[in-house]
Structure formats: structure tokens, C-alpha cells
Structure 1
């Protein structure tokens, strides 16, 4: 479905906006921790400024990269490839601990150095966020930008809260992974090559079945892999 003509009074637009915010929060727990780690050596009076500036730079770069990827998704086969990547990212979210090693994040006592660290780390770590959000927003650039502008400050301000919630309630990680699988299913069936081959009307009817299948595939693969891994406590 083309969201470029959807206004913000449309319930569909609000639903997609909620998807963007939820995905960004679930996928950005480690990014929020990076911001805190990079600014931890700043003087107390500079720390808040460093976090705010780092988040601001991250927002601008994230919007630019997401708009670029969203425009490229109109190329045949890229949505199919992107759907596969989202499935892989979602399963990885379930089966692996994605917490960032504190030793790999350089803290700096200089404000702009800390901001630079935040910006670079956010670029390197944000492929999953960018791809997922571009898939949800599709062709609606205003919706895409609004979702990012709303969610990124929430992530920065609630870095420790988000991290502790994801740790205490693993079901949130599973829910986020299932949502990624849902988005992957929607992304797959909207590929221009498939539309040209099978027709938009048929594929539109398969939108929800494909989304449900994507979510179930992620949960099934995640459960299967986790169940076969040896318990680290043993």
C-alpha cells in the first residue's frame, strides 16, 4: 500500500507511526547505551549537552540514510533481499545478546570528540533500524521523518530504562522480533518485480498472510535455534 497519500488523520498512518516508534525503541537499546558510554567521561555540566548534541547528529544522519534506503527500495528485487535481511536481523535479535561491549566504546573528556563517537557508532549500528523503518514507511517520507524524530529522543532520554526493560522482560524482545518478521512479510510481497509478475491486486490480498508468515517464521527460527544452543550456565 502506498502511504505517500496517507494523512496523519488516517488511522493507518497512526498505526504505521506506532510501528516505527516501537521498532526503533526495540532495536535501539544498544544505541542508547553507546550514547551514554561515549559521554561518560565528560564533565557533569557537559554531559547533558554531549548527549543532546550526539542525539541530534544521530537523528539527522539516521533520517538521511533512511530516506536514501527508502528511495532505493523501489528497485526490483531489493525488497525481497531486504525482507531476507530483516528476517535475519529479527532472529539474531532473539538468539544473540546484542549488548555493546563497554570496552569497545571510547569515552572522551572533550565534548565534540564524544559527539563524533556517538555519530559514528550510530551509523555503524543502525542498519537494522534504518532498513526496518524504511520498510514500514515505504514511500511516505513525512511519516518516516516523524517516526524517527519522535522515537530517537525517547531512546536517548530513556536509555537506561529501555535497557533494563528489555533485560527484565524478554517477551518485549520476542514481540519486537515478531514485528520485524511482520514487516519483512509486508516488504517481500510489495517488491516491484513480484507486483509486475503477479499483479498488485493479488499481492494486496496476500499482504496480511505474508506478514503473519514472516512473524511466525522469525519466532519459529528463533525458538528452534535457542532450544538447540547449550545452556551457558551449565
Structure 2
């Protein structure tokens, strides 16, 4: 306790904590969007439980990885060499997760465009998607995002206590935001395509990062924020046109 008190009496520790919390929350957005889209494919009675399980698994994975900080540090060391390029285990995890995310986003975009009537008659859940399958896919992406998150945390501070607090705060924020985000996506179908496009971009970013071509996350999130702003303006315009038609009809 005395060590913790001494740590948090240092202004630099508070600055590191705030910075890391913000970074972890931003990195958690990718994970949260995937969970929200996938849970919306399930029957309504299973969505909240699936979200909580998925976010709970994200917390467990992050805390478990923090408990093995020394092992995490080794994940950035070269593990295999292919085509005269060295890949670390972190690189391989990011490439695998990126490929899965690209495949999943492409599949969901195809489903959204095709509007298969059989899926609509089954309550919006695509054939073959069960709670267990959804949790399995969420767990896979949780692992990818957790490795990226913890490696980032290790690179920003050497204080494990700060890492633990930042991870817990970030996952708690995900838990509170999951429900509203899921309902917003459900009530605004056009947002689904935009969110799937985000996941496609994130998947390609993970693959590029795995191959050593780092893309600054600020550029990605700035583009995503601009796209969301434009779609928000479109939604307001559609609502205004609908209100005008209702007034004219009345």
C-alpha cells in the first residue's frame, strides 16, 4: 500500500494513468464495435448476455496478459523469418486477427447487401450463428485486441499498477457503452454498413502492422470520425425530410 501511495503521489504517474486510460479506451472501440455488430445478429434475448460475456472475456484476457508482463515483452522479439522478414509472435497474432476481421466484415457486408429473406424470417440471426459461435468469434478478436492493447501499455509505462487500473477502467467503459451502441446500430441500419467498413479498415491496419508497416491510429480514427459525422448529417437530413412529409400529409 505504501508503494502505491508513493506511486500515485507522483504527478507523472497520474499523467501516465490518464494517457494510458485514454489510449486503452480508444483501442477498445474496435473491440466494442465488433461485439455490438455480432451480438445484433443474435435473438434479442441473448444479446445482453453475449455482450457481457464478450467484454468479461476481454477483461480476463487483458488481466491475464498483464500478469505475464515478462512474457508479453518477448512477444515483440523475432520468432520466425519468412521472405527475408522477421515476424514476432505479436506480428503473427495481428496478421491472423486482421485476416479474420477482413473475412468477417466482408461476409457481413455481403449479407447486408444481399438481404437474404430467410435470415430476416429467423429474427435477424444468420443461419448457423449461435450464442456459442458468437462468443467464440468474440473471444478470438478479444485475444488479438488484448495483445495489441497490453503491448501498447507495456510500451507506455513500466508501472504494472497503472496498467491494471487503466485496463479495468477501459473495460468498464466498454461495458457501459455496449448496450447503447448496440441499440443505436439496431435502430439505424445504415450505421451497420459504416461500422462494417470500419472493421474492414481496422483489419487491414492490423495486417499492415503485422508486416511492419505501422499506420498511425490517429489517421484511422480521424477518418472514422469524419465518416460518422457525415452519416450523422445524413440521418438528420432524412429525419427532417420525413417530418416535412408527415406535416404535409397531416
TM-score (norm 2): 0.50
Structure 2 unmatched ranges of 5 or more: 78-87, 109-125, 155-159, 220-250
For 2:14 and 2:52, the matched residues in 1 are separated by: 29
CA RMSD of aligned residues (A): 4.1
Residues 33 and 27 of structure 1, relative CA distance in 2, 3 Å threshold: same
Mapped pair 1:124 → 2:152: no
Residue equivalent to 2:17: 13
CA distance in 1, matches of 2:137, 2:58: 12
* 3-state SS of paired residue (1:103): coil
In structure 2, the residue matched to 1:199 is none
How far off its partner does 1:125 sit? 3.5
Give 1:148's aligned residue. Answer: 171
The equivalent residue for 1:205 is: none
Matches within 5 A, 1:133-212: 133-138=149-154, 139=160, 140-159=163-182, 160=185, 163-167=192-196, 173=201, 177=205, 181=209
TM-score (norm: length of structure 1): 0.53
Q: Whole-Å Cα distance in 2 between the matches of residues 69 and 166 of structure 1?
A: 28
- Contact between 2:98 and 2:203, CA under 8 Å: does it hold in 1? no
